[in-house]
Amino acid sequence: MILGIGTDICDIRRIEQSIDRFGTRFLNKTFTPHEQSYCESKARPGMSYAKRFAAKEAVAKALSGTDTGSLNWLSVEIENDPSGRPRVTLHNDALARSTAICPLDCVVSVHVSLSDDYPYATAFAIAEAVPNVRQTP
């Protein structure tokens, strides 16, 4: 069952300007150490940061309700699986919010797609309730 969807578009130049102006203060407030390590390993770090920024916004929208506030940037982490596909890990307030909107017999899975075409980065997220099926031996 789909719990929510979210999308966001981000101007890569704006993220690059924030990095230039605020440096590690901006990065440490917005991106986890793992995200920073990944982005810094790329030829155009600003593009990778912008995609993750858009993804965090899209995930927040997918998890939002009429009475929810903002999420801490670090509570949504965008990683990549071995094939390069982006995946979402929720922490702290994002994890609590996902648990609150999920039926009791389910767990939340958040799917995300990222794209960029300079100067823009986009992300689309779907929060899904997946039945929590136990395997019996």
Q: Give the pLDDT means over successive 10-residue stretches in the chain (137 positions).
A: 96 97 97 97 96 97 83 94 94 92 91 97 97 70
Tokens (6 digits) for 11: 């101007």
**Is 137 within a domain?**
no
How many domains, the chain? 1
pLDDT of residue 136: 58
pLDDT of residue 67: 76
Strand partners, 47: none
**Is 136 within a domain?**
no
Domain span at residue 19 reads 2-131
Check which CATH number belongs to the domain holding 72 and give it.
3.90.470.20
Q: How far apart are CA 48 and CA 28, in angstroms?
A: 15
**Which alpha helices (DSSP H) does 63-114 contain, by range?**
92-101
Say what the pTM is.
Answer: 0.91
User: DSSP 3-state assignment of 127?
Assistant: strand
